[in-house]
Amino acid sequence: MTELKVGVIGIPGKWSTEALADALESRTGFRRVIDMAEVVADLDRPALMCDGLELGGLDAVVVKKISRDYSPHTLDRLELLRLLEQQGVRVFSPAGSMLRLIDRLACTVTLRNAGIPMPQTRVTECPGQALAAVREFGSAVFKPLYSTKARGMRVLSLAEGERGLKKHIARFHQDNPVMYIQRKLELPGRDLGLVYLGGEYLGAYARISRGDAWNTTIHSGGKYAPCEPGAVLIELGRRAQAPFALDFTTVDIAETEHGPVVFEVSAFGGFRGAREGAGIDAAAAYADYVLQGLAGQ
């Protein structure tokens, strides 16, 4: 065992958070799960406190989950972690890297600038332009800028009719002033999650959709399954995650008749998919990586 003190920022009681805390405790003898909802930032000192613990006294924190749901407020929580970095506390992954992944548009712009293939996408604040996008695509997925597991997404198609489309677009626009719209792709009933640790490929899993679901998320009834992507997909995933300089991540890739496309890069990565679909103990691998990184500082 080492004497390093590494905290886990996550959701107390959640499996992935506790699994990572267990893995670090077994290697260091220290365990602390930090709920950002309980953190106080004293900007005068400056210091971050959580239940009597000054986080600046830790050697590192590993961010497994910053909040239960994504929202602009999530960005505020990540900003606070920059205080820790300034104090010399290592944050896995770096706060600046995660900041660019919480907002779906920031992630997409970074991927597009890197030349990563993605579904055709339109972004607009104008309902008329949103309607034009549906006409162009035939069927489109309207996505909130802050969401996970397809929550809040809405599929709209020409089958809705002109009046129906205008009504549904107006309703979506009420909660989403900036509308992010992607062409709905015809997929083979699955997409892939490729796992990377320190930029190196660790393994992959598939998400298989339920028969009547348009997406493959577990939230919508999908299930994990093994898969063995070829070298082309592994390299595409590596290129997609590279601009973000993350310590641990999952890249969501779909295979289409026109070639593979990337849907997104995860700020935190999926432990359960890695375990159930690929047989990877991601918590153990990540804990080893963190401790090796601290030893090499």
The two three-digit tokens of residue 146, written as one number: 């802050």
Domain that holds residue 149: 121-183
Domain boundary among 166, 183, 200: 183
Based on the domain organization, do 204 and 179 belong to the same domain? no
Based on the domain organization, do 225 and 266 belong to the same domain? yes
Domain boundary among 162, 183, 204: 183
Nearest in space to 176 (alpha carbons), one of 143, 135, 137, 198: 143
- DSSP for 54-115, please give it: EGGGSSEEEES-S-SS-SHHHHHHHHHHHHHHHTT-EEES-HHHHHHHHSHHHHHHHHHHTT
CA distance 115 to 108: 11
Task: With respect to residue 162, please indicate whether it lies within any of the assigned structural domains.
Answer: yes
Based on the domain organization, do 195 and 176 belong to the same domain? no
The two three-digit tokens of residue 66, written as one number: 């910053």
What is the residue-level pLDDT of the chain in tens, covering all 297 positions?
Answer: 668 999 999 999 999 999 999 999 999 999 999 999 999 999 999 999 999 999 999 999 999 999 988 888 899 999 999 999 999 999 999 999 999 999 999 999 999 999 999 999 999 999 999 999 999 999 999 999 998 777 899 999 999 999 999 999 999 999 999 999 999 998 878 899 999 999 999 999 999 987 665 565 656 567 899 999 999 999 999 999 999 999 999 999 999 988 999 999 999 988 999 999 999 999 999 999 999 999 987
Task: With respect to residue 59, please indicate whether it lies within any of the assigned structural domains.
Answer: yes
Q: Which residues contact 174 (CB under 8 A, 6 or more apart)?
A: none
Based on the domain organization, do 276 and 290 belong to the same domain? no
Task: With respect to residue 1, please indicate whether it lies within any of the assigned structural domains.
Answer: no
Domain boundary among 152, 183, 214: 183
Based on the domain organization, do 12 and 51 belong to the same domain? yes
Angle at 124 between CA 122 and CA 127, to 5 degrees: 110
CA distance 190 to 178: 28
Please report, for the domain that includes residue 274, its CATH number.
3.30.470.20
140, 184 Cβ separation under 8 angstroms: yes
CA distance 36 to 223: 30
Task: With respect to residue 68, please indicate whether it lies within any of the assigned structural domains.
Answer: yes
Based on the domain organization, do 144 and 87 belong to the same domain? no
Please report, for the domain that includes residue 173, its CATH number.
3.30.1490
Based on the domain organization, do 222 and 173 belong to the same domain? no
Task: With respect to residue 276, please indicate whether it lies within any of the assigned structural domains.
Answer: yes
How many structural domains does the chain have?
A: 3
Based on the domain organization, do 140 and 217 belong to the same domain? no
Task: With respect to residue 58, please indicate whether it lies within any of the assigned structural domains.
Answer: yes
Based on the domain organization, do 220 and 157 belong to the same domain? no
237, 223 Cβ separation under 8 angstroms: no
Please report, for the domain that includes residue 68, its CATH number.
3.40.50.20
CA distance 110 to 240: 9
pTM of the complete model beyond 0.85: yes
- Secondary structure (3-state) at 182: strand
Based on the domain organization, do 129 and 56 belong to the same domain? no
Q: Which amino acid is at 7?
A: G
Task: With respect to residue 203, please indicate whether it lies within any of the assigned structural domains.
Answer: yes
Based on the domain organization, do 191 and 256 belong to the same domain? yes
